[in-house]
């Protein structure tokens, strides 16, 4: 997958991670260019939980409709991830 970090300003994940914007981009640092969707996910208080990322070869790029669908998926599953994090911290 993507061999970079969301904390690196040049990363295709930067905008989703730091600015909270769903992102549709092309990652060119692989043997085959990749089309990438990165969608920030938040808990109910607005705290960032993580970023939902999907990629595939750029020869079949994601569309704005795909990005909109990914935003819906991220929103629908953020509560499940938040709950999982809470239960994991309780077990520790």
In this prediction, residue 44 carries a pLDDT of 82
pLDDT tens string 28-55: 876 889 999 999 988 888 888 888 999 9
Q: Which two tokens stand for residue 62?
A: 């994601």
Q: Which pLDDT band, with edges at 50, 70 and 90, does 1 fall under?
A: very low
The residue among 5 and 3 whose pLDDT is bigger is: 5
- Please name the residues in contact with 86: beta carbons below 8 A apart, sequence gap of 6 or more: none
CA distance 57 to 32: 7
- Taking the whole predicted model, whether its pTM rises above 0.75 is answered as yes
Question: For the chain, what is the mean pLDDT?
Answer: 84
Q: What percent of the chain has pLDDT over 90?
A: 33
Residue 2 φ/ψ, nearest 5 degrees: -75, 120
């Amino acid at each position: 997958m993507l061999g970079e970090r969301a904390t690196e300003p040049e990363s295709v994940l930067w905008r989703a991670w730091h600015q909270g914007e769903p992102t549709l981009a092309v990652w060119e640092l692989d043997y085959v260019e990749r089309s990438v969707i990165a969608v920030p996910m938040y808990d109910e208080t607005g705290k960032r939980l993580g970023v939902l990322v999907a990629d595939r070869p750029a020869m079949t790029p994601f569309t704005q409709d795909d990005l909109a669908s990914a935003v819906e998926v991220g929103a629908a599953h953020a509560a499940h991830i938040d709950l999982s994090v809470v239960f994991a911290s309780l077990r520790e």
